[in-house]
Amino acid sequence: MTAALALEGLRKSFGAGPVVDGIDLVVEPGEFVTLLGPSGCGKTTTLNLVAGFQVPDAGRIAIRGREMTGVPPHHRDIGLVFQDYALFPHRTVAENVGFGLRMRKVGRAEVEQRVGEALGLVQLAGLEGRRPGQLSGGQRQRVALARALVIRPSVLLLDEPLSNLDLKLREEMRLEISGLQRRLGITTILVTHDQGEALVMSDRVAVMRGGRISQVTDPVTLYNRPADRFIAEFIGSMNFLPCLTEGVVAAGAVGSVVVEGQAVRALAPRAIKAGTAALLAFRPEQARVASGEAGELRLRGRVVRVAYLGGRTELHLEMGGRPCVVDVPSGTVAAEAGEEVVLAGPTSACLLFPAEL
Amino acid sequence: MSGWGGLRAMVAAVYLFALGPIVITATVSFNAANQSRFPPLGFSLRWWAEALGPRWLGPLLFSVELATAASVLAVLAGFPLAYAVARRQFPGRDFLAALSLGPLALPALVTGIGLLQMLHLAGLEALFGLPALVLGHLVICLPFAVRTIGVSLLSIPGNAEQAAMSLGASPFTAFREVTLPLVKSGVFAGASFAFVQSFTDYSISLFLARPGSSPITVTILSFLEYGFAPTLAAVAVLTMIVPIVLIGAVQRFFRVGDFLYETRH
């Protein structure tokens, strides 16, 4: 099967240095892939290269197997939703949504029918005659989405589409957009700096850093098996405790380390040299507060603060001067500040990274 | 409510001082005697008959032609200038922006003298009259066109043109379908400000006009050397009507006032 979108050795520099520094990515038809990274990681530039607003210095882009070098944006058959929605303020909702169809010389009756369908999909039926200025932020977002979907593009590109919405609406729209995407089976690339958004919406997430993709995998693997310390820190919360390795640990192997005088076994995604400084990493909710039962991870710490969050409670601990957080269901642990506790957890929850980034 | 009373009195005073002279001038033009008396002595239309004769209508028409040429050229030159400054990054961008707005800050008299000397030095005396006037008026009209078009370009959502292109519009179609309609009121506002600026100018025209190709302002000024006759009052009213009608008409369709009081969106 031909890939819906293929990026090969994509590079782009602006003055100072490379912004996109060798991107390879293959997106299958119907797949939802997110480019996730902090600002300046090159994700938006990558999107602009795909859209054709910028020309790569090197590399190839193919949409449905068709080489895109030299193809201007208006011949790429893409749908694009911008962060600021970029609606046409002088046109009605219906005219905005129908714009792409009109450019494709679709007949008037069909335009009307498809615009109606698209507005129905985003639950805006009845607002055809409004102008963008008369809509709320969430409604504008939906118009922008309908305008991009109605042309049934080969690839739908979403550039931080939710970042201008308030939190509650943002969380609703995450589910709504990914639901819509699955129903329509439309190949989608989302650009975001919001890891929650990436995990909820994507089939696969490509974490970008310094113009490259550090790891591309499904959300569950990304969360549980981050490939390096940067990703481990960027996705969710993670505890890091300095430790010393006893011997060489091969990439993907379980190694032994010493933390605060206690031996712990953990998986190393990357190879670690013998006797070097390393970091033991585990997520706050993957450790338990133990009372003597067996477990691979056993660490002693003192409770500094108990933070009640409703359904969950965070125990802020101190371990040999290092802060560490454990997240437990409320009511399951009756520890108080100043108390000594033992942390326990399975080896599968423990990761090992070289100390340097 | 003495505070409001004071404000009302102030507003009334502003109206009185702004509109009073106009009303007086208009009234004076109906004097029966050859005296600029207010209130007028008797009633007569003879000054109006004179004002509507070729001696005055010629320069008035000349001024309309000049202002039309200057404002059309100001928009044609101002659009690309405003577009470049609003949309592109290039070395000297700030300088170009300052240069295009510069004549606003300069007394028009200075610009007029400068142009006069430049044309003399370049041996282009043949240009005096309409060509030199159009050139001079273009200089003082350009800032209005650049400014209003620039403001309306900046009020367009940043990615609207890119959005149009992603939907299948060629760059030209995107410009025609999205950019142009959105800057239309800016273009008309700029053109009407430029027109009024040219139509009411005399400090530049004073240096660049030539007998026979003299705008109405300069003609009025030279007539004043013989004293103020009721004819002049009638001519003044005629001269006022042109910009008022223009601004009124354009305002009706394009909300030009937005550029005077606030920016849109």
Chain A residues in contact with B180 by the CB 8 A cut-off are none
- According to the model, what pLDDT value does residue B262 have? 47
Out of A41-55, A219-233, B83-97, least confident range: B83-97
Percent of chain B with pLDDT over 70: 95
Q: CA-CA-CA-CA torsion for A76, A80, A86, A89, nearest 10 degrees?
A: 70
- Contact of A327 with A312, CB cutoff 8 Å: yes
Chain A residues in contact with B157 by the CB 8 A cut-off are 84-87, 89
**Tens digits of per-residue pLDDT, A289-317?**
876 555 566 788 889 999 999 999 999 99
Mean pLDDT of chain A: 90
Q: Is the pLDDT of residue A4 over 90?
A: yes
Q: Which residue has the higher pLDDT, A274 or B113?
A: B113
Chain B residues in contact with A100 by the CB 8 A cut-off are 167-168
Chain B residues in contact with A51 by the CB 8 A cut-off are 162, 166
**Tens digits of per-residue pLDDT, A102-138?**
999 999 999 999 999 999 999 999 999 999 999 999 9
If one looks up domain B50-261 in CATH, what number appears? 1.10.3720.10
For A19-41, give the DSSP string.
EEEEEEEEE-TT-EEEEE--TTS
- Chain A's closest residue to B161, CA to CA, is A86
Among the partner-chain residues B160, B169, B182, the one whose CB lies closest to the CB of A74 is B169
ipTM reported for the complex surpasses 0.90 = no
**Distance in Å, alpha carbon of B78 to nearest chain A alpha carbon:** 23
Q: In this structure, which amino acid lies at residue A150?
A: V
Q: Do A90 and B170 touch (CB under 8 A)?
A: no
Average of pLDDT values for B26-34?
83
Continuous segment of H or E residues that includes residue A314:
strand A312-319
Q: Is the pLDDT of residue B79 over 60?
A: yes
Chain B residues in contact with A78 by the CB 8 A cut-off are 166
Written as six digits, the tokens of A265 are 């076994």
Out of A38-47, A254-263, B118-127, B213-222, least confident range: A254-263
- Interior/surface letters A206-238, b for 16+ CB within 10 angstroms, e for the rest: bbbbbbbbbbbbebeebbebbbbbbbbbbbbeb
Written as six digits, the tokens of A64 are 């449905």
**Sequence-separated (6 or more) residues with CB below 8 Å from residue A135:** A93, A127, A143
- According to the model, what pLDDT value does residue B256 have? 62
Chain B residues in contact with A84 by the CB 8 A cut-off are 157-159
Coil, helix or strand at residue A194: coil
Mean pLDDT of chain B: 86
Among the partner-chain residues A78, A82, A90, the one whose CB lies closest to the CB of B181 is A90
- According to the model, what pLDDT value does residue A143 have? 96
Q: Name the band, by pLDDT with cuts 50, 70 and 90, for residue B260.
A: low
- According to the model, what pLDDT value does residue A296 have? 60
Query: In angstroms, rounded to a whole number, what is the distance separating the alpha carbons of residues A193 and A207?
Result: 10
Q: Within 13 Å of residue A236, how many CA atoms lie on the same side as its CB?
A: 22
Return the domain boundaries, chain B: 1-44, 50-261
**Distance in Å, alpha carbon of B159 to nearest chain A alpha carbon:** 5
Coil, helix or strand at residue B92: coil
Angle at Cα B100 formed by Cα B99 and Cα B102, nearest 5°?
60
Chain A residues in contact with B174 by the CB 8 A cut-off are 74
- According to the model, what pLDDT value does residue A271 have? 87
Q: Name the band, by pLDDT with cuts 50, 70 and 90, for residue B62.
A: very high
Q: What contacts 24+ positions apart, CB below 8 Å, involve B201-205?
A: B201/B108, B201/B137, B201/B140, B203/B107, B203/B108, B203/B109, B203/B111, B203/B112, B204/B108, B204/B109, B204/B111, B204/B112, B204/B115, B204/B133, B204/B136, B204/B137, B204/B139, B204/B140, B205/B112, B205/B133, B205/B136, B205/B137
Q: Name the band, by pLDDT with cuts 50, 70 and 90, for residue B105.
A: confident
- Contact of A60 with A9, CB cutoff 8 Å: yes
Beta bridge partners of A344: A288, A298
Q: Do B157 and A84 touch (CB under 8 A)?
A: yes
Continuous segment of H or E residues that includes residue A4:
none
**Tens digits of per-residue pLDDT, A148-186?**
999 999 999 999 999 888 888 999 999 999 999 999 999
Q: Name the band, by pLDDT with cuts 50, 70 and 90, for residue B264.
A: very low
Out of A69-78, B77-86, B94-103, B134-143, least confident range: B94-103
- Determine which of B167, B182, B254 to mutate to test the interface with A (most A C-beta atoms within 10 Å): B167
Q: Is the pLDDT of residue A192 over 90?
A: yes
* Domains delineated in chain A: 5-229 (3.40.50.300), 237-354 (2.40.50.140)
What backbone torsions phi and psi does residue A278 show, to the nearest 5 degrees?
-135, 175
- Entry pTM: 0.80
Q: Name the band, by pLDDT with cuts 50, 70 and 90, for residue B263.
A: very low
Q: Is the pLDDT of residue A356 over 80?
A: no
Q: Do A89 and B182 touch (CB under 8 A)?
A: yes
**Distance in Å, alpha carbon of B177 to nearest chain A alpha carbon:** 9
Query: In angstroms, rounded to a whole number, what is the distance separating the alpha carbons of residues A116 and A118?
Result: 6
Average of pLDDT values for B191-208?
91
- According to the model, what pLDDT value does residue B259 have? 64
Q: Do A82 and B162 touch (CB under 8 A)?
A: yes
What backbone torsions phi and psi does residue A190 show, to the nearest 5 degrees?
-110, 135
Q: Which residue has the higher pLDDT, B225 or A82?
A: A82
Most confident of A10-19, A23-32, B131-140: A23-32
- Determine which of A88, A102, A151, A189 to mutate to test the interface with B (most B C-beta atoms within 10 Å): A88
Q: Do B169 and A104 touch (CB under 8 A)?
A: no
Q: How many CB pairs under 8 A join A and B?
A: 75
**Tens digits of per-residue pLDDT, B228-244?**
778 888 888 888 888 88
